[in-house]
Structure 1
Amino acid sequence: MKKQIISAAIASALVLGAVPTAFADTTSSFTDIDNSFAKDAIQRLVEAGIINGVDSKHFDPKGELTRAQFVTLMVKAMNLPVDTSSMASNTFKDVVGWAAPYVDAAYKAGIIQGTGANAFSPNSNLTREQSTVIMVKALQTVGEIKGTGVPLTFTDADAISDWAKSYVAMAVAYGLIKGNPDGSFNPQGNATREQAAVMGTNFLKSAEEVKDENKPTDPAEPEQPPVVIPPVTGGGSTVDTQAPTLPQDVTVSDITETSVKVSWTASTDNAGAPMYKVYINAGQVFNSTDGTSMIVTGLTPDTDYHFEVRAYDAAGNMSNYTDPVSAHTVARPVAVSNVSLSSDNANNPLLAKVGDTVTLQFETSEEVIKLSNFKINGGNPTSFTCTETQEGGTWISQATYVIDESDPEGAMNFQINVKNAAGTYSQTIEQTTNGQYVEVQKAPVLSSVTIASNNANPAEATSGDTVTLTIRSAQKLLKLSNFKINGSNPNSFESVQDGNEWVTTATYVLDGTDPLGAMSFQINVRNEAGLYSVTTEATTDGSSVTVNYQGV
């Protein structure tokens, strides 16, 4: 099934040299590709929906390519299934946002590995040898390839990493790469966007060749008897002039943002099984198939299309056009980016207490309104605004939420659900772009309080002994000015995390002026959100320390 999907994507992408009407204006607005050696490749991939410009006017051909951008290009070229239900990678902790579904699809297909433990480094630059390895691994998913023994004649072949040499050799054998005009390969150099476009088109061509090389044969299939075609009256040769019958029951299904599956019932022909052509909007032709369905790719989201099918035989005889069937491609979800969450807490914008206002901010390329299932911590936002920036082209939305007593302690959650003026919805977004969240804190609770001295008898202390007050809580604690031990400030105060709780210690050194008898203390602390504890003056386990200057 994988090979069939890839074959359909390749077949459709390769015919995009003749630009369909639906794509006629896709690249005409780029002002920076006329002098690029990759202009034709850029146009082909943009028209096929495999690569995009950096904005509506620029492609930035000399710009360096990130690992996430190249993997996305390859996943689109291979037509791999992409699960966009989550904007966080299931495999790599450092991949969040738009690239996550593509990186996961590539990892599942076996064409990439990470750069470390649960890391992919999506924003790092991609070297030429790294991009070559990814392409070859992608080509291997199409079918068996050879070429590991091809000699590497690049002037800098010795600079190619050992782990990459066999892949570079196979890439040369299949025409994926050719090197630079000066004979070098520059394996450690960063790949550029125009180089990626050329590599992408080379991959599509090579993948078709590999598919043909690996086309299965059935030795058990009986040889078909030759078809005897009656001679044409009045001539001295036999000529097939009979067209196949009209394909029947044309339907469309599996409609996505950029593809439609067209199916039909087989035609018959006097000279064997016919082939078929699918016509889009009475113009663009998708050649060819001997099956009874075709996945038409490279379409524009939220667009009407009409499809017709014709059968033809080896002699070139064509059936009539079928009646057109229509399909409307799925609208592309509203893209949400740069999601952040912060509070107006005076001490820490990543903490919030009752009464603090938390702001959820994100960007879109168009004005949006919130839907009823837009939630912050399970509740409706207090306010929602969407404002265009002065530069234009970017809209910043802000939703605020005021923390109250009903909000539970811990990390806040949210669900961004918006739509544009056309009624197109965004995907549900539940994660921030930078992975940071706001934690709701309530007043600190002291789960354990103990006191002991470093004396041989921890329940007694004399001059020079150190007494330690130990406090356990679920939050980090900060000392207030009225935190006292025996009426004085502690000599030291420290709050350290220990697993799921925090251990806070305050020490006090006796100097001979402390009165005899049981020591006293007043624990007054606050958490990082600024909430105070209740003053505590007793231990939870009954421990105490008595000052005694004699016989200790």
Structure 2
Amino acid sequence: LSTVHIESDNANNTLIAIGGDNVYLTFTPEEPLLLDSIVVTIAGLATTLTESNGSYTATLTLTGSEPDGILEFTIDFKDRAGNPGIQVTATTDESYVNHDIYPPEIEIISITSNNSDSTWAKVGDSVFVTFTASETLDNISITIAGVSSSYNELSVAKYQGYHVMDDSNDEGDIPFLITYTDLGGAIGPDADTTTNNTNVQFDKTVPEFSLTRMATNNVYGDSLAGIGSVDTLSFTISENQRDLNVELAGSQKTPEQEELNFITTHTFSESD
């Protein structure tokens, strides 16, 4: 045979086939053949043979139950004189079809942000969903915080989606959803949960101070202070906070806290 070529009609990749795809094995002999002598198998199964202008095409529709991996084939034939040809089991152009029977799966997923606390995000922070699959993926669609998001391929079968948070996003635990197929078009299960229990909370509410009061224990008035006077600062914050920095009378203070209420004091001395 002068040419032997194999391919599938898979919509994504003709080098791959899944259940329902057709596999076509096309070959051209160097001399006319006895049509009744031609026997072609693909994956050990009989095929349907057609002829056009001296070339032959054997077709097999996969059910998905055929063996996984590169599909093997055989071509047996005789010339018009009845001489048997050498059985052909390889293409002349290195073409092949890989039968993919396993759907893809995302095996590792995590979510984080570029906030100083990676479990929180504020307006303007970027949120990243990183995931690793069982094989190279195709047709990836990812939403973060309900918004269609871009993604990068970090390495083979490893990807990272990202989204910059803004005022239109809802506060709270940031959701995500990943849909995808493999290179052959087989659909994998949707992914919307991390595998390492990570999560990111979105907070777009600016904290507010209230009930702020400063007074001294000076006997002549709580707005006056002398050496030995104690100045007391109390205030309430609208929500839990971190990195609270309090300065009173030029001195850094660590206030006492009860729920969202804070209080700190300063005793005046000659150095003030």
One of 507, 531, 538 as aligned partner of 2:162: 507
In the alignment, which residue of structure 1 is the partner of 2:4? 339
**Larger relative contact order (C-alpha < 8 A, sep ≥ 6)?**
2
- Of 130, 140, 150, 1:479 maps to 140
Q: Give the Cα separation in 1 of the matches to 2:154 and 2:139.
A: 11
Specify the alignment match of 1:370 in structure 2: 38
In structure 2, do the counterparts of structure 1 residues 543 and 379 end up closer, same or farther at CA, with 3 Å as the change threshold? farther
Pick closer, same or farther for the CA change 1:362–1:538 going to 2, 3 Å: same
Match of 1:379 in 2: 45
User: Structure 1 residues 410 and 545, CA, compared in 2 at 3 Å: closer, same or farther?
Assistant: farther
- Letter matched to residue 121 of structure 2: A
> 1:424 offset after TM fit, Å?
2.3
TM-superposed CA distance for 1:489, in Å, is 0.5
Note the aligned Cα RMSD (angstroms): 2.3
Name the CA shift for 1:349/1:544 in 2 (closer, same or farther; >3 Å).
same
- What is the deviation of 1:362? 0.7
- Measured against aligned partners, the alpha-carbon deviations of 1:80-117 in whole angstroms (never above 9, x if no partner) come to xxxxxxxxxxxxxxxxxxxxxxxxxxxxxxxxxxxxxx
Identify if the C-alpha distance between structure 1 residues 348 and 459 changes in structure 2 by more than 3 Å, giving closer, same or farther: same
Q: 1:485 to 1:405 in 2, by over 3 A?
A: same
The match for 2:151 is 493
Alignment of 1:133-172 (within 5 A): none
Counterpart of 1:465, as a letter, is D
Distance 2:185 2:171 in 1: 36
Letter in 1 for 2:28: E
> 2:10–2:16: 8 Å Cα contact kept in structure 1?
yes
On the 8 A contact 1:476/1:495 being kept in 2, the answer is no
Tell me the amino acid that sits aligned with residue 512 of structure 1.
D
Counterpart residue identity of residue 452, structure 1? T
Is 1:521 aligned with 2:176?
A: yes
Match in the other structure for 1:357: 22
Asked if structure 1 preserves the Cα contact closer than 8 Å seen for 2:137 and 2:180, the reply is no
Amino acid at match of 1:478: N
Unaligned 5+ runs, structure 1? 1-335, 390-394
Q: Distance in 2 between matches of 1:514 and 1:361?
A: 55
Are 2:100 and 1:457 aligned?
Answer: no
Q: Which of 401, 410, 418 lines up with 2:69 in the alignment? A: 410
Alpha-carbon distance in structure 2 between the residues aligned to 1:497 and 1:420: 51
Deviations 1:238-294 (A, max 9, x none): xxxxxxxxxxxxxxxxxxxxxxxxxxxxxxxxxxxxxxxxxxxxxxxxxxxxxxxxx
TM-superposed CA distance for 1:510, in Å, is 0.8
Going by fraction, where is strand more abundant, 1 or 2?
A: 2
Aligned to 1:222: none
User: The residue matched to 1:423 in structure 2 has which SS?
Assistant: coil
Contact 2:123 2:166 in 1 (8 A): yes
Q: Displacement, 1:546?
A: 1.6
Task: Output the TM-score relative to the length of structure 2.
Answer: 0.66
Cα-to-partner distance string for 1:487-506 (whole Å, 9 max, x where unaligned) = 1110x1234652xxx11221
The 2-side partners of 1:534 and 1:421 are apart by: 54
Distance 1:342 1:413 in 2: 12
User: 1:467, 1:509 within 8 Å by CA — same for their partners in 2?
Assistant: yes
Q: Partners of 2:38 and 2:201 in 1: how far apart?
A: 64
- Between the aligned partners of 2:67 and 2:171, the Cα distance in structure 1 is 46
CA contact (8 A) 1:341 1:360 kept: yes
Aligned to 1:400: 59
Task: Provide the secondary structure at the position in 2 that maps to 1:419.
Answer: coil
Whether 1:433 and 2:92 are equivalent positions in the alignment is yes
1:112-171 residue CA offsets vs partner (Å, 9 max, x unmatched): xxxxxxxxxxxxxxxxxxxxxxxxxxxxxxxxxxxxxxxxxxxxxxxxxxxxxxxxxxxx
Equivalent residues in 2 for 1:270-289 (5 A)? none
Contact 1:367-1:386 at 8 Å conserved across structures: no
Q: Deviations over 1:438-470 (max 9, x none)?
A: 223343222222222222332222222211212
Alignment correspondent of 1:17: none
**Following TM superposition, where does structure 1 have runs of at least 4 consecutive aligned residues deviating by more than 6 angstroms?**
none
Question: Which amino acid is the alignment partner of residue 545 of structure 1?
Answer: V
Q: Which runs of 5+ in 2 are unaligned?
A: 208-240, 243-272
Q: Which residue identity is paired with 2:91?
A: T
Q: Distance in 2 between matches of 1:448 and 1:403?
A: 31
Letter in 1 for 2:57: Q
Residues 144 and 177 of structure 2 are in contact (CA less than 8 Å); yes or no, is this contact kept in structure 1?
yes
Shift of 1:353: 1.9
The Cα offsets for residues 29-86 of structure 1, whole Å up to 9 and x where unpaired, read as xxxxxxxxxxxxxxxxxxxxxxxxxxxxxxxxxxxxxxxxxxxxxxxxxxxxxxxxxx
Structure 1 Cα separation of the partners of residues 155 and 59 of structure 2: 31
Give CA deviations for 1:190-235 in whole Å, capped at 9, x if unaligned: xxxxxxxxxxxxxxxxxxxxxxxxxxxxxxxxxxxxxxxxxxxxxx
- How many residue pairs get aligned? The number is 202
Offset of residue 530 of structure 1: 2.6
Moved more, 413-422 or 356-365: 413-422
| Contact 2:33–2:77, Cα closer than 8 Å, also in 1 | no
